[in-house]
Amino acid sequence: MRIAFRKIALESSPFALHLDGVEFSGNFQRENDKVAIQATLKGTLELPCDRCGELFEELRNDTMKLKVHEGYYEGDDLDVIESHDHFVDFEKIAQSEIEAIRSQYHYCDKCKELEGE
């Protein structure tokens, strides 16, 4: 799902897409030179346990606020995503959010129990 920057209005619009068993949905709207996105990522992700290395499934329900800037962004807001093709690509954003979750530390249930001892 891709939307051209110039078509994005000041009023908030809804979006929803499905990716790898995960639902990425929310609202987006224009905010000066950026597009502000409020999103929820809901669904089951397969994650590698950082302790035993086993893959396990975790039910996620993450909410996030993102901003997309058309072209190079020179400000100091770390949450701004640059877009270089004049489109906001929701699928790409969802993928990078999933990657960000995967790159955090995760422990499977067995290892969580061990951690609690």
Residues forming the site for Zn ion (CB under 5 A): 49, 51-52, 108, 111
Quote the least distance from Cβ 43 to Zn ion, whole Å: 21
Report the residue number, 91 or 113, with the smaller CB distance to Zn ion: 113
Is 22 within 8 Å of 10 (Cβ atoms)?
Answer: no
Report the residue number, 98 or 108, with the smaller CB distance to Zn ion: 108
Q: Number of helices and strands (H, E) in the chain? A: 2, 7
Quote the least distance from Cβ 107 to Zn ion, whole Å: 6
Quote the least distance from Cβ 114 to Zn ion, whole Å: 8
Quote the least distance from Cβ 102 to Zn ion, whole Å: 15
Distances (CA, A) of 40 to 32, 50, 62, 69, 104: 23, 25, 6, 20, 18
What 3-state class would DSSP assign to 34? strand
Nearest partner of 39 among 55, 56, 26, judged by Cα: 26
Report the residue number, 50 or 85, with the smaller CB distance to Zn ion: 50
Is 17 within 8 Å of 47 (Cβ atoms)?
Answer: no
Report the residue number, 31 or 109, with the smaller CB distance to Zn ion: 109
